[in-house]
Amino acid sequence: MNLSVVWDIFTKILDICFVWIAFYYILKNVKNNIKMVLIVKGVILILIVKFLSDWLDLYTVGVILEYAIQWGPLAIIVIFQPEIRSVLESLGRTQLLGRHKILTVDEREKVVYEIMRAVDYLRKNRIGALIVIEREISLEEYIRNATKVYADISDSLLETIFFPNSPLHDGGVIIQGDRITCAGAVFKTSMNPDISKRLGTRHRAGLGIAEESDAIALIVSEETGRLSIAVDSHLHYNLEPDQFRMMLIDELKPKMEVFFEADESDGEEE
């Protein structure tokens, strides 16, 4: 086997790897965007109907679908331009090797401890709050326009930021690693029609950032003191404090740690 053959094999493997990486990140971002998921489902449905029309020899349906397939991509780009742009922006903000600080077990425990102390105070006093924890996808777009803090996380600082009539009360806090990066951040609200109309702007903003990124959004209701977590495009509403704490701990775990825990549990004998 000469050098040219080895190089040819290497380039082909590299080519396949790049394609799979591109597909992975596209699908990862598509699944977090409700409208893009609907687009994908619609395209799959059209392809299935086209296959059936060819199989059953349905001439008229086949001709209509031929035009739909021919001009469909252009129509999708024009009609769903904001959604496509959102996915591309998410890809642009994603760091392939991860930009966030990987917390040690002690640091993670401290973050959870300080957040839970603050959340417990806020819910008991009916003080609204939105705390967003950055993960793989950068939130620099929101940090840029917010009030910079760059301080170690503490319950007293969080309570002060969200204290009623505070200038930063209505915005969100963004946490990177074990530090509060900024306060007063304004997020895009979710347009999900399935959200209860009783939920206010804070819950919609939390779900909005969870739809747009892989961040963890912690929400304290100002009216009821109820606790919620928005993550992976889902809003987990009205959690008990223990449920809230356990979910926060699970979401903060590094992916490799979650993988090994799952692997160990699979290997346990019943």
Same-domain check for residues 146 and 225 = yes
Same-domain check for residues 169 and 47 = no
> Is 267 among the domain residues?
no
Domain boundary among 93, 125, 150: 93
Same-domain check for residues 146 and 212 = yes
Contact 37, 63 (CB under 8 A): no
CATH number for 149:
3.40.1700.10
Same-domain check for residues 139 and 161 = yes
Average pLDDT value over all residues in the chain: 82
Same-domain check for residues 129 and 87 = no
Distance from C-alpha of 170 to C-alpha of 185, rounded to nearest angstrom: 9
Domain boundary among 58, 93, 128: 93
For the beta carbon of residue 76, count every other beta carbon within 10 angstroms. 15
Is the per-residue pLDDT at 260 higher than 50? no
pLDDT, one tens digit per residue, over 195-229 is 888 888 999 999 999 988 889 999 999 999 999 99
Same-domain check for residues 80 and 145 = no
> Is 270 among the domain residues?
no
> Is 265 among the domain residues?
no
Closest CA to 33 of 104, 78, 90: 90
Same-domain check for residues 117 and 243 = yes
Same-domain check for residues 171 and 118 = yes
Domain boundary among 70, 93, 116: 93
Tell me the residue range of the domain where 150 lies.
105-257
pLDDT of residue 236: 95
pLDDT, one tens digit per residue, over 83-109 is 666 666 655 555 444 445 577 888 899
> Is 262 among the domain residues?
no
> Is 69 among the domain residues?
yes
pTM: 0.65
> Is 228 among the domain residues?
yes
pLDDT-based confidence at 170, cuts 50/70/90?
A: confident
Same-domain check for residues 109 and 56 = no
Same-domain check for residues 192 and 243 = yes
Same-domain check for residues 157 and 81 = no
Contact 240, 157 (CB under 8 A): no
pLDDT, one tens digit per residue, over 138-150 is 888 899 889 999 9
pLDDT-based confidence at 180, cuts 50/70/90?
A: very high
> Is 114 among the domain residues?
yes
pLDDT of residue 133: 96
> Is 26 among the domain residues?
yes
Number of domains the chain is built from = 2
- E-strand ranges in the chain read 129-133, 147-152, 172-176, 179-185, 216-220, 227-231, 234-239
Which region among 69-73, 153-157, 186-190 has the lowest average model confidence (pLDDT)?
69-73
Same-domain check for residues 50 and 7 = yes
